[in-house]
Structure 1
Amino acid sequence: MSLNFAKTEFVRSAAAREHFLRDGLPQFAFAGRSNVGKSSVINRLAGRKNLAYVGASPGKTTQVNYFLVDRRAYLVDLPGYGYAKVSKAEKDRWGRLMESYFQDEGDLITVGVLIVDIRHKPTADDVTMHTWFRETGCPEIVVANKLDKLKKSQVDPALTLIRETLDLGGEDMLVPFSAEKGSGKEELLRLLSAACEG
């Protein structure tokens, strides 16, 4: 039975590892650069404009935010990375929080969702995050957001560059997506529902 993302509600923010949820429900961990449109992707999946906070300036997600989907799984919004306009101390705090989530002995992550910008080659930070997901041993879905910003002829070369940079094999999941227009939404919902069943 597929997950009903329309039934998504905010549950809590965790600023420290003792606040992480460990109740056994699947967790879909969403990660991406601060300005990649992570909150917009989450809002598009839930069919809501402002479920996840969309800031005028990037870098507003500073904690691990949990959203309960259909009372059966969590969508976990991780702090955005790679944004310059926060202090080094704050960046370090985010990094430690992310690391403790990834390394938690409860093996919290069911599926990793890495959001990249389809218009650009994935950054060194994207590659690091991709490596972290791989090291957890969980399945990963790479979502290439901002599809609406490319001409049709640019899409395949852009996806090829992402596959090469992240060293994705043929079996690895890469979903072209537009939070703006909704392209790719059904495929991503299907993959997440399948992971929940698995």
Structure 2
Amino acid sequence: MIIKNSSYAISAVREDQYPTDNLPEIALSGRSNVGKSSLINTLLSRKNLARTSAQPGKTQTLNFYLVNQEFYLVDVPGYGYAKVSQKKRQQFGTMIQDYLETRANLQGLIILMDSRHEPTKNDVAMYNYALYLNLPILIICTKIDKVKKNQQNQVINTLKQKINLNYDNVSVITFSSVQKLHVKEVWQWIEENL
């Protein structure tokens, strides 16, 4: 994928705010602070297009990033952040559910999980939900550069022990925004599913 241009397009919390140009979309989901913004910035070769923050729970809307005037990457609010009130979490849940279940333009879901930790209950729930929606799924194990070299292969094995990856529509990739590791493979998956 050659990035000719990319831009932040719009933030939305409900359907009437979504883009209306009928372009395909790939959504990115994961717990707060898993590296969604870093992934977007790395993929698009931009420093601060998607705002990264040391403070989890910053993304509170569906953020649409237009790529090459051809498709959108959609950053979904992170889940599992304890400092957000129960009411706010329910609002996020409804907003995410409405988007994932009703958006005809949605072509696939990228679920980010932190390589340094086993999948959380929320990770497993999001994965099972994506299977239920029958979307193409790419699991990206982020921050692989922070895992010791001799333990990197174990990351995928641990994942396999926790969740069933034996589905035709599921792919798994390790990723590092620091080392720009497997950027090409992520783009390949996106292109195949657009």
- In structure 1, the residue matched to 2:165 is 168
Matches within 5 A, 1:79-158: 79-104=77-102, 106-158=103-155
Alignment-mate amino acid for residue 14 of structure 1: A
Show structure 1 runs of 4+ deviating over 3 A.
Answer: none
Asked if the contact 1:26/1:72 (under 8 Å) is kept, the reply is yes
- In structure 2, the residue matched to 1:193 is 191
Let me know the Cα RMSD of the aligned residues. Answer: 1.5
Give the Cα–Cα distance (whole angstroms) in 1 for the partners of residues 159 and 20 of structure 2.
Answer: 33
Range with greater deviation from structure 2 (4-13 or 43-52): 4-13
Give the Cα–Cα distance (whole angstroms) in 2 for the partners of residues 69 and 153 of structure 1.
Answer: 36
Alignment-mate amino acid for residue 16 of structure 1: R
Alignment-mate amino acid for residue 156 of structure 2: L
Distance 1:183 1:193, change over 3 A: same
Q: For structure 2, list consecutive stretches of 5 or more residues without a partner in the other structure.
A: none
Asked if the contact 2:31/2:113 (under 8 Å) is kept, the reply is yes
Give the Cα–Cα distance (whole angstroms) in 2 for the partners of residues 60 and 194 of structure 1.
Answer: 30
1:6-64 residue CA offsets vs partner (Å, 9 max, x unmatched): 52111100022221235332110000000111111111101111111111201110000
Asked if the contact 2:33/2:54 (under 8 Å) is kept, the reply is no
Distance 1:5 1:58, change over 3 A: farther
Alignment-mate amino acid for residue 16 of structure 2: E
Range with greater deviation from structure 2 (14-23 or 186-195): 14-23
TM-score by length of 2: 0.93
Q: For structure 1, list consecutive stretches of 5 or more residues without a partner in the other structure.
A: none
Asked if the contact 1:102/1:132 (under 8 Å) is kept, the reply is no
The number of aligned residues is 193
Distance 1:142 1:6, change over 3 A: farther
Give the Cα–Cα distance (whole angstroms) in 2 for the partners of residues 154 and 94 of structure 1.
Answer: 35
TM-score by length of 1: 0.92
